[in-house]
Homo-oligomer: A and B are copies of this chain.
Amino acid sequence: MTLKVFGDRMSQPSRAVILFCKVNNIEFEEVTIDVVKRQHLSQQFAEINPMRQVPAIVDGRFKLFESHAILIYLSCAFPGVADHWYPADVSKRAKIHSVLDWHHLNLRYGAFLHTTLGPTLGRPLNPGAAANAKKILESSLAKIESVWLKGSGKFLLGSYQPSIADVSLVCEIMELEVLDEKDRFRILSPYKKVGVWIEATKASMQPYFDDVHGILYGSKEKYQKQREIATLHSKTRRLFNWFDYEHYYKHVM
């Protein structure tokens, strides 16, 4: 029975799992659970994952959810996966767990992504939450730069080859793609090693990386158009205000 991966490519942990399968030639069937259509809340999906979150997998009779747990399981249960993804060595493995656990409460944290990206996606801006989100994001990028990318290799933990931690964290950072190019540059450019690491991780997983992120690249264009329309509206409004002012100046004052 083929492995089934239940996910939504708009969700970063889903992309990490799908990407990992493709890169490692793990045969799988992708089952799309459209989160916008609230398919993850259906009773049918609750049979797969009672927590009603994507991604989840079914391997024969074995069901599993939580993307880090899935990545580790796939590394161990499928013999074709190279050792560097999740090394057998206890100490190396421990360091990868440490990165993944740190990721949960820092880079991922949910809040910062939703609030930083919220305005881009047309959601209302909560200034307090956005400022906090920005702080967590910058602090996380600084820690990746100074702690996790310390060492001679281009990958996390100073390695010369990527691990599941690289897949998971880079898929998270790719969310920034939907921001305006200038904003994205402003956020990422202070972290030189982070930039090199993102490109190295992408390159190590091509052509699958771009394939799996296609949906995000598509969204980027859509949001860019929305931003252009919003800017045009704002300019029209300024023109209208200016016109009103001229009218007022000539006829009322």
**Which A residues are closer than 8 A to B by beta carbons?**
50-51, 62, 64-70, 72-73, 76-77, 90-91, 93-95, 97-98, 100-102, 104-105, 108, 110, 143, 146-147
Contact = CB atoms under 8 A, between A and B. Distances in A.
B69 A101 contact: yes
Contact of A64 (B94, B108, B110): B94
Given A65-B102, A68-B101, A69-B101, 12 more contacts: A50-B143, A50-B146, A64-B94, A65-B98, A66-B97, A66-B98, A69-B95, A72-B93, A73-B90, A77-B90, A104-B104, A105-B108
B69 A98 contact: yes
Nearest to A77: B90
24 contacts: A50-B143, A50-B147, A51-B143, A51-B147, A62-B94, A64-B94, A68-B97, A68-B101, A69-B94, A69-B95, A69-B98, A72-B93, A72-B94, A72-B97, A73-B90, A73-B94, A73-B97, A76-B90, A76-B93, A77-B90, A77-B91, A101-B104, A104-B104, A105-B110
Contacts of A100: 69
Copies in the complex: 2
A155 to B, nearest CB: 18
Contacts of A104: 101, 104-105
A70 to B, nearest CB: 8
A126 to B, nearest CB: 11
Query: Which of A68, A94, A100 is most buried by chain B, counting CB atoms within 10 A of its CB?
Result: A94
A170 to B, nearest CB: 18
B101 A66 contact: yes
B94 A51 contact: no
Given A69-B97, A97-B66, A97-B72, A51 B102 contact: yes
Contacts of A62: 91, 94
Contacts of A146: 50
Nearest to A95: B64
**Considering the complex of A and B, which 8 residue pairs feature the smallest CB-CB distances, nearest first?**
A69-B97, A66-B101, A104-B104, A73-B94, A69-B98, A66-B98, A50-B147, A76-B90
Contacts of A101: 66-69, 104
A164 to B, nearest CB: 11
A80 to B, nearest CB: 15
B64 A98 contact: yes
